[in-house]
Structure 1
Amino acid sequence: MSAKPTIGFVGIGSMGWPMAALLQKAGYALQIIDASAERAQAFCKDIGGTVATSNRALAAASDIIITILPTSAIVEAVLNGPDGILAGLRPDAVIVEMSSGVPTITRTLAEQVAAAKGHLVDAPVSGGVPRAKTGELAIMFGGSAALLERVRPVLSCMGTSITPTGDVGSAHAMKALNNLVSAGGFLIGIEALLIGKRFGLDPAAMVDVLNSSTGMNNSTQKKFKQFVLSGQYNAGFGLDLMVKDLSIALGIGKDTNTPTPFAALCRELWAASAAMLGPGQDHTAVAKMSEKLAGTVLSDK
Structure 2
Amino acid sequence: PKFRHVHIPCVCLSLYLVMELMDANLCQVIQMELDHERLSYLLYQMLCGIKHLHAAGIIHRDLKPSNIVVKSDCTLKILDFGLARTAATGLLMTPYVVTRYYRAPEVILGMGYQANVDVWSVGCIMAEMVRGSVLFPGTDHIDQWNKVIEQLGTPSQEFLMKLNQSVRTYVENRPRYAGYSFEKLFPDVLFPADSEHNKLKASQARDLLSKMLVIDASKRISVDEALQHPYINVWYDPTEVEAPPPVITDKQLDEREHTVEEWKELIYKEVLDWEERTKNGVIRGQPASIAQVQQ
**Fold in common (TM above 0.5):** no
* Structure with the larger RCO, 1 or 2 (CA within 8 Å, 6+ apart): 2
Q: State TM-score, norm by structure 1.
A: 0.25
Greater fraction of residues in helix: 1
